[in-house]
Amino acid sequence: MAVSPKRARVMARSRRLGHCICDPRQACPCEAFRQHDVCHCAGERLPQAGGRPVLTQLVQSPGCASKVPPGELARILGRLPAVEDPRLLVGSATLDDAGVFQVSPDLCLVQTVDVFTPCVDDPYAFGRIAAANSLSDVYAMGGTPLTALTILSYPVHEVAEEVVAELLRGGLDQLQEAGVTPTGGHSINEAELKLGFAVTGLVAPAEMVTNAGARPGEALLLTKPLGTGIIAFAGQLGRASPAARAAAVASMTMLNRAAAEIMRRAGARACTDVTGFGLLGHLSHLVRESGVSAEVWWEAVPWLTEAWRYAEEGLVSGAAERNREYVEGRLQVAAGVPEAALDLLCDPQTSGGLLFSLPAAAAEACVAELRAAGCEQAALIGRVTELREGSIQVTSRTMPNDTPTPALEPPAPPAEACCAAAPAAPATSDAGQAFQQFMATALRPGALDVVQKELITIALSVCGQCEPCLKTHLAKALAMGLTPEEIAEAAWLGVAFGGAKAMMFWKGLEHLARNKEAVSGVE
Ligand code: CO
Ligand code: CO
Ligand code: CO
């Protein structure tokens, strides 16, 4: 690289200071200079490697979304004074999609901002998705978006200008399709690429649709299939098929504009869009604010191509897990609802569909209208019910409505170390206590993880023919998600070393490995 006058000037200054002038924590000459003969301070860049960067690889914790956990945010907001202004019709307290501020008797501003990390690798598609996602909150309030400000951050030394231009072009094209005028924006040089929009829309106070208007007996409609989070996660692991990725991109780039128009015309009373908290998370806000309960018919919920299979394969991200915890307290799950259905119902969505309630009589026509308008998988997915304990029930549509559904299985209590299951050592026995302590130490994860250790305890329990030990560890192993096949293989190793007596012992108890209830019922 030829030495430019700019570099000569900048380097002279940096070397005199002993520090890089754009990052004083670095000495000058910096690492990039010594390795690549590039001076960032002089505006030089590493030549881009051929081809496009893989956008999702720039994300630092892709499995965790980029959101602050909802509980933490609520605690922080709780420490701040409430906003007292009669013109603020919808503020942050109600967990609605956007703020609504009344400017005249018949006009309100609807305002929202959303910024997030790439969920797809194509910059143009990501731009369109980010815009569709931000606009969606205005649509969910029954509003019409008017203007948008762009918010963009990226590491300037790493992402090429062409890529950034593509991102923004995607965003602008989407805004144009929505009839929204871009009014400016803000950009930041930062380690992580993020894009979003602050959108302002308008709504008449009488036409505003919040999350607080749902009434018992109403139908619940969803306008887009679920599964964008699961497919993005599978993609990051290189396990999503091109067809699944294409279906997810098509769904995420689709505006909720037409769906919102149909929703308003059909007389919807409550609406939200399904995004980071997953369908159950956003529905939990809606039932809470409306003072109602809801029933979700899992078989009626639409999924994206292959999302169900990925959920069954366990391709579920940490963010989905947090959403599950978030709703667990108000969730009742009927017997027989597959685990994959719950994973999908908790899957964080990017630019998901609208979820709304409307008078049941209008539901069927509304679904037909949505499908004709391009929401091909729009569906009636449940109903609003009277407030009762456990605000959301996930059930089968064919179940009689008033059968009380069993509560979700409580998490297994932490199992004790092996010999706690044997006749309890009296507290006065020092040796007994010491042995239990030793046991707990031996079982702690170290070079072997807890799952490996659990399988070893099963083999040893069989080999040593300790029935209480085996029962305790079978319960623990099943609660960890070990399969009956894995457990049996470990047990047969115990038989191999324990001989015929160990085999008779295992034969007498092996049915327990196939029956979770039987095992957790022992003790
Ligand atoms: Co420098
Ligand atoms: Co929203
Ligand atoms: Co939002």
Which pLDDT score is estimated for 98? 94
Question: Residue 253's beta-bridge partner residues?
Answer: none
How many A from CA of 295 to the centre of ligand 1? Answer: 59
Q: Reduced to 3 states, what is the DSSP secondary structure of residue 108?
A: strand
Structure token digits, residue 213: 């208007």
Q: What are phi and psi of 197, to 5 degrees?
A: -140, 145
Q: How far apart are CA 468 and CA 423, in angstroms?
A: 9
- Residue-wise pLDDT for 3-47, tens only, equals 788 888 888 888 888 888 777 788 888 887 888 788 878 877 776
Helix runs in 270-422, H state only: 278-290, 307-312, 318-328, 339-345, 363-372
Closest ligand, as measured to the CA of 199:
3
Is the pLDDT reported for residue 408 higher than 80?
no
How many A from CA of 353 to the centre of ligand 2? Answer: 10
Average pLDDT, integer, range 354-375:
97
Which pLDDT score is estimated for 2? 61
Closest ligand, as measured to the CA of 272:
2
| pLDDT tier, 65 (very low <50, low <70, confident <90, very high otherwise) | low
Higher pLDDT, 399 or 478: 478
Which pLDDT score is estimated for 33? 80
Q: How far apart are CA 124 and CA 480, in angstroms?
A: 42
Higher pLDDT, 430 or 511: 511
How many A from CA of 436 to the centre of ligand 3? Answer: 50
Return the HEC string of 44-74: CCCCCCCCCCCHHHHCCCHHHCCCCCHHHHH
Q: Reduced to 3 states, what is the DSSP secondary structure of residue 446?
A: coil
Which pLDDT score is estimated for 477? 82
Q: Which residues surround ligand 3, an ion (CB under 5 A)?
A: 114, 137
Which pLDDT score is estimated for 522? 41
How many A from CA of 157 to the centre of ligand 1? Answer: 11
pLDDT above 70 as % of the chain: 89
How many A from CA of 109 to the centre of ligand 3? Answer: 16
pLDDT, the chain, mean? 86
Higher pLDDT, 260 or 441: 260
Is the pLDDT reported for residue 430 higher than 90?
no
Q: Which residues contact 59 (CB under 8 A, 6 or more apart)?
A: 66, 117, 118, 192, 193
Question: Residue 104's beta-bridge partner residues?
Answer: 107
- Residue-wise pLDDT for 108-156, tens only, equals 999 999 998 998 999 999 999 999 999 999 999 999 999 999 999 999 8
Which pLDDT score is estimated for 101? 97
Q: How far apart are CA 156 and CA 192, in angstroms?
A: 10
Q: How far apart are CA 385 and CA 216, in angstroms?
A: 4
How many A from CA of 20 to the centre of ligand 1? Answer: 4
Task: Judge whether 418 counts as a catalytic residue.
Answer: no
pTM comes to 0.72
Choose the catalytic residue: 64, 119, 419, 466. 64
**Region of residue 138 (left: phi > 0; alpha: psi -120 to 50; beta: else):** alpha
Is the pLDDT reported for residue 476 higher than 90?
no
- Residue-wise pLDDT for 214-273, tens only, equals 999 999 999 999 999 999 999 988 999 999 999 999 999 999 999 999 999 999 999 999
Return the HEC string of 234-262: HHHCCCCCHHHHHHHHHHHHCCCHHHHHH
How many A from CA of 56 to the centre of ligand 1? Answer: 27
How many A from CA of 160 to the centre of ligand 1? Answer: 19
Cis ω before 29 (30° cut-off from 0): yes
- Rounded to 10 degrees, the C-alpha dihedral 51/57/59/65 comes to 120
